[in-house]
Amino acid sequence: MNDKVKLSGRPVISSTGMFAPPDLITNDELVASFNRWVDRYNAENAAAIAAGEMEPKQHSSAEFIEKASGIRQRHVLSGESLLDIDVMAPRWRERADDELSITAEMSLNAARQALAKIGRDPAEIDAVIYSNSSPERQYPAVAIEVQQALGIDGFAFDMNVGCSSTTFAVLTAADYVRAGHARSVLVVTPEIPSAHINWQDRDSHFIFGDFAVAVLVEDAAIAPPSHWEIIGSKMKTVFSNNIRNNFGIINRGSPDGAGAGDKMFVQQGRKVFKEVVPMVSALIVEECGKLGIEPSSLRRIWLHQANSGMNRLIAQRIFGHEASADESPTVLDRFGNTAAAGSIIAFTEHSDDLQPGDTCLICSFGAGYSVGAVFIRKVG
Amino acid sequence: MNDKVKLSGRPVISSTGMFAPPDLITNDELVASFNRWVDRYNAENAAAIAAGEMEPKQHSSAEFIEKASGIRQRHVLSGESLLDIDVMAPRWRERADDELSITAEMSLNAARQALAKIGRDPAEIDAVIYSNSSPERQYPAVAIEVQQALGIDGFAFDMNVGCSSTTFAVLTAADYVRAGHARSVLVVTPEIPSAHINWQDRDSHFIFGDFAVAVLVEDAAIAPPSHWEIIGSKMKTVFSNNIRNNFGIINRGSPDGAGAGDKMFVQQGRKVFKEVVPMVSALIVEECGKLGIEPSSLRRIWLHQANSGMNRLIAQRIFGHEASADESPTVLDRFGNTAAAGSIIAFTEHSDDLQPGDTCLICSFGAGYSVGAVFIRKVG
């Protein structure tokens, strides 16, 4: 790229990339393992259960999981250990400091795909934002490790706002572009929710999948002719404890705390459903109004991929009718809830057919609560 | 504030606030406790030490600490447990989910001071960035909890880039203001490095102090007449493992890993010194050049407060002579290394005497490596 190119200050999404870990667990496999563990648990505690001193654990079923969530399978970093009823937790080799970190590697896999699609030279990128709900360590920021691995000269940092981590990072990158502080910003979101959940909990063990996405946010002046102009945006947060994970370095001060050793994902699923659906729908309709866009005229929306029931309701409120798969595509069935990566997976897999002038929406929502809405229009 | 006020798109720092936890540990107190522990350790292992199978631990001294770092005392969240040779670690009560989190409370103490100084109504603030090297949990973002506690309508998220967390957040906030996406952004940095370090390690147990700072970054149009215009900035990162802390949720996958249960701050102090001093000095001189500022004409610089020797060398390279306390004030002696909070403490304590037109610099550096330079000019 010619350093002398006159920048426009108009941010666009010019490319995205994805990485799915090779291990795949279907609902049938997950349930078979879970039910074996339930049977063993109930057998080992048969006397106490018979005496009414303990509750027996209940079997699960692939049908229950699909009906509750829309999920049929998920990719994970360590499938074997998750299905091993003597482990039922992630297991990977701890890497030395001079090796590439696990989430940096996931990020690079997604980032290289995004760069290759448009032939972007890392020398043209000025910043890296590593934004996810699974930050790998305290410091140095993993973003800087990704920056170094790609040979990017500039700045990098980590950020976290649960499942809106990617959209908030994209919109932050867009403001760096608007301010002239970056020509091109690489956003990477490696998610490892398999490390967050209790794989012995019937109500949540099936929810998540590991995944990484990358997004290039660039000044229109350097982007390839075919890109997505960011025409509107909204970041919104309203505090809630209904999706929470207390794991953190603060726990060092309370080694005997009530939840010691068990700081994992917890969710009040019904409350989330009831509170988030109207919040997201109203925000989208309101922002459409500000942009002069009739909500039903949106060509396609890529919603956060957490629950098919939520997405059906939100899409219905936007379009005024039951949305088709063409209007509101899902990838939940194949990848599960991939935290902040979900809406970008849906966008990446279901956007090549769109035409110049098509106005669309990427919208995340989740823990926080947070909502990140990115209105985009196809160019070129 | 009148919503109709015409915004300028020019970001300024309009106020800062601070919170020091009440517990204070002097070098003498720290050394007395440490040496008692050393004596007990050596007595308990006397036979093995005599047989040459173990190395005896060495006493420390207040003089050694002050000479090595410039630190005389530090504030901490839990002084008693750190000095108790049966604990030598932080201890606090684990808070329930419906209580205010520890770092949210620290943030609020600093934020309320910053707001009160200029009479800022939280209703006029549009965003909160919680940026530190001690993120408290995975989700929801603590920023959103701070946002709610203050009654701020808008968006909030967490970010982390080690000791440059505050300057990077200030510069990110500045770009939200430039883009017209926020009128006023509250940056909060609660640091609890007491939870990061091994209080039995002679070479590092004295380094850190707990602290919180808050910074208001606002559009000049709504700022009070007396404020600091942001006239230039630079964020820079270059990967290094020389300051590292591997604590994170990724550790769940390696419970038997080499460092399991001991993921703490580690530092190659001499390498950091040798590599960071030239990196920071060169960056400041180069950015001064771009801004047309003679480095020696900077009225005052507030450097990251990690080590008095580093700051002496950096300041000397900028000013061309040994800098006075007036040119490069230190707060290291009273607060220790407060991670990302340090340069803002120095700014807050040593800026009231400056005059309109004075051109100054806030500059952080540390883990990453990262450097965040914020050039500011006094107005009003």
- pLDDT of A21 reads 98
Residues of B in contact with A192 (CB under 8 A): 249-250
Q: Tell me, what's the pLDDT at A3?
A: 58
- Chain A nearest-CA distance from B247, in A, is 5
- Chain A from 154 to 173: CB within 8 A of any B CB: 154-162, 164-165, 168, 171-172
B213 contact partners, CB below 8 Å, separation of at least 6: B16, B17, B18, B19, B110, B166, B188, B189, B341, B344, B345, B348
Question: What number is the ipTM of this complex?
Answer: 0.97
The pair of structure tokens assigned to B259 is 């460092």
Give pLDDT, residue A255. Answer: 80
Q: Which of B302, B291, B232, B215 is nearest to B13 (CA)?
A: B215
The answer for B 177-236 residues in CB contact with A (under 8 A) is 178-179, 181, 192, 195-196, 233, 235-236
Count of residues for chain B? 380
Q: Give the pLDDT mean for A142-148.
A: 98
Distance from CA of B345 to the nearest CA of A (A): 22
| Interchain contact, A94 vs B156, CB within 8 Å | no
Nearest Cα residue in chain B from A178: B179
B288 catalytic per annotation: no
Report helix, strand or coil for A371.
strand
Say yes or no to pLDDT of A1 above 70.
no
Q: Measured between beta carbons, which residues in chain B are less than 8 angstroms from residue A247? A: 137-138, 249
Specify if A45 maps to a domain.
no
Which residue segment(s) compose the domain that A343 sits in?
228-379
Instruction: Tell me whether A261 touches chain B (CB under 8 Å).
Output: no
Output DSSP code: residue A171. H
Q: Which residue is catalytic, options B163, B288, B360, B363?
A: B163
pTM summary value:
0.97
Q: Give the closest of A176, A238, A247 to B138, CB-based.
A: A247
pLDDT tens digits for A305-343? 999 999 999 999 999 999 999 999 999 999 999 999 999
> How confident is the model over A204-247, as pLDDT tens digits?
999 999 999 999 999 999 999 999 999 999 999 999 999 999 99
What single string gives the DSSP state of each residue in B46-93?
HHHHHTTSSPPPPP--HHHHHHHH---EEEES-HHHHH-TTT-S---P
A254 touches chain B (CB under 8 A): yes
What pLDDT, on a 0 to 100 scale, did the predictor assign at position A5? 84
- What the block records as the tokens of B165 is 């967390």
Q: What is the DSSP letter of B205?
A: T
Q: Which amino acid type is present at position B281?
A: S
Q: Is residue B329 part of a domain?
A: yes
Give the rounded distance of the alpha carbon of A144 from its chain centre.
20
Distance CA B314, CA B332 (A): 15
Mutate to test the interface with B, among A133, A157, A163 (most CBs of B within 10 A): A157
pLDDT digits (tens, 9 = 90+) for A195-205: 999 999 999 99
Q: Answer whether residue B80 is part of any domain.
A: no
Which pLDDT band, with edges at 50, 70 and 90, does A171 fall under? very high
Question: How high is the pLDDT of residue B312?
Answer: 97
B175 within some domain: no
Q: A87-97 burial by CB neighbour count: b if 16+ within 10 A, else e?
A: ebbbbbebbee
Amino acid at B323: A
Chain A interface disruption, residue of B160, B233, B246, most A CBs within 10 A: B160
Domain assignment of residue B287, yes or no: yes
Residue A261 zone, left/alpha/beta (φ > 0; ψ -120 to 50; rest) = left
Distance (Å, whole) CA A156 – CA A135: 14
Flag whether residue B37 sits within 8 Å of chain A, measured between CB atoms. no
Closest-approach residue (CA) in chain A for B156: A237
Mean model confidence pLDDT for chain A: 95
A8 touches B at CB < 8 Å: no
- Does any domain span residue A368? yes
Give helix then strand counts, H and E, for chain B. 11, 13
Total domains in chain A come to 1
The per-residue pLDDT for range A249-306, each reduced to its tens digit, is 888 888 877 554 568 899 999 999 999 999 999 999 999 999 999 999 999 999 999 9
Instruction: Tell me which residue of B45, B44, B17, B76 sits closest to B337, measured CA to CA.
Output: B76
B367 belongs to a structural domain: yes
Query: CB–CB of B252 and A78 under 8 A?
Result: no
Q: Is A258 helix (H, G, I), strand (E, B) or coil?
A: coil
Which among B90, B175, B258 has the least Cβ separation from residue A94? B258
Between A160, A233, A265, which is nearest B141 by CB?
A160
Instruction: Compute the distance between CA of residue B349 and CA of residue B305 in angstroms, rounded to an integer.
Output: 13
Q: Which of B168, B372, B163, B200 is nearest to A138 (CA)?
A: B163
- Measured CA to CA, the distance from residue B125 to residue A71 in angstroms comes to 40
In chain A, residues with a C-beta closer than 8 Å to the C-beta of B147 are 237, 239
| Closest CA relative to residue B206, chosen from B365, B61, B314 | B61
Enumerate residue ranges in chain B where pLDDT < 50. Answer: 1-2, 260
Asked, for residue A334, whether it belongs to a domain, the answer is yes
Contacts of B185 in chain A (CB under 8 A): none
Pick from A150, A217, A184: nearest CA to B239: A150
Distances (CA, A) of A4 to A1, A152, A222, A274, B256: 9, 19, 11, 52, 53
| Residue B260: predicted pLDDT | 45
Contacts of A138 in chain B (CB under 8 A): 133-135, 160, 162, 196, 245-248, 265
CATH number of domain containing B339: 3.40.47.10
A253 CB within 8 Å of a chain B CB: yes
